[in-house]
Amino acid sequence: MQYRTVLHKRPTLKRAVRERLAGRRTVEFVKALDGVTCSVKKGITYGIIGRNGAGKTTLLRAMAGIIPPTAGQVTVRGRVSTLLALGIGFNTELTGRDNILLGGLAAGRDYNKLMESFEDIVAFAELGRFIDFPMRSYSSGMRGRLAFAVAVHVEPELLLIDEALSSGDEAFREKCQAKMEELCARRHTIVLVTHGLKSVKEMASECLWLHEGKRMSVGEPGQVVEDYKKFVTLKPAEKSSLQSGS
């Protein structure tokens, strides 16, 4: 996955005007993902870890079909539900109830099926009387509750989650974990991008570690997490040596 960006050494007005008049711009290509290969088995939770800028969200967006890869291909079998940003697709001027309908339909859920699970979504979100308030009055945690509740009740075959479990209290996170385990037991597949290493070790069957767009390791979550934790404590020279060796 490669992005084209315009690079300015010093972002001054004088330089910007001179470059525009001369028709010259410094262009650089940035590889957000570089030769990453992975395969997610049906019916498991698959964790993706790495530092900020590692390419985790980019990979998830490629899986969701939001952005196409520059080279290579992504093959997805099954109906996808995404939770890539809290409350994406919601209208903050509408109430929580209205946004359940809006979010469910946006995710491709049949209207009648959505209405059958409507009250289950309301109950799962645990927003109380705020379910009838405009979403602009919600905290990030409340938006996260509602977004997660909608995402897991549209019966996805593949659920893509980016950091959603970082919001909410411990009790709600445990509830989310139980719901994800329920989905997996029914042969649903979950791909989870998170900085919560404990969540990956507890929930994932397999884990992928990315660093600067490259695949560092993939395998049993406990081992991959321990390798990652050791890596982040290394000095820059030691990291470069390890990366070149991988």
Provide the CATH number for the domain around residue 191: 3.40.50.300
- Half-sphere exposure of 134 toward its Cβ, with a 13 Å CA cutoff? 6
Q: Is 221 among the domain residues?
A: yes
Q: Is 70 among the domain residues?
A: no
Q: How far apart are CA 185 and CA 68, in angstroms?
A: 31
Pinpoint the alpha helices (H) of the chain.
13-22, 56-64, 96-106, 111-116, 118-125, 140-152, 170-185, 197-203, 221-231, 236-245
Q: Is 73 among the domain residues?
A: no
88 is in which domain, residue-wise? 79-155
Whether 147 and 161 share a structural domain? no
Buried b (16+ CB within 10 A) or exposed e, 96-122: bbbbbbebbeebebeeeebeebeeebb
Whether 54 and 162 share a structural domain? yes
Q: Which of 179, 175, 228, 183 lies closest to 201 in space, CA to CA?
A: 228
pTM across the whole model? 0.78
The reported pLDDT for the residue numbered 110 is 87
The reported pLDDT for the residue numbered 81 is 79
Q: Which of 203, 165, 217, 184 lies closest to 37 in space, CA to CA?
A: 217
Q: Is 72 among the domain residues?
A: no
Helix, strand or coil for residue 162?
strand
Whether 134 and 164 share a structural domain? no
Whether 163 and 243 share a structural domain? yes
The reported pLDDT for the residue numbered 186 is 86
Q: Which of 230, 227, 209 lies closest to 218 in space, CA to CA?
A: 209
Q: What is the mean pLDDT of each run of 10 residues along the chain (246 residues)?
A: 72 66 70 94 93 92 90 89 66 94 84 93 94 93 88 85 69 84 86 89 94 95 96 80 64
Whether 148 and 202 share a structural domain? no
Which amino acid is present at 56? Answer: K
Give bridge partners of residue 48 from the DSSP assignment: 193, 208
Paired sense of beta strands 45-49 and 206-211, if any: parallel
Q: Is 69 among the domain residues?
A: no
Whether 167 and 221 share a structural domain? yes
Q: Is 175 among the domain residues?
A: yes
Q: Which of 174, 170, 179 lies closest to 150 in space, CA to CA?
A: 179
Q: What is the dihedral of CA 235, 239, 240, 245, to 10 degrees?
A: 140
Inter-residue contact 191 to 46 (CB < 8 Å): yes
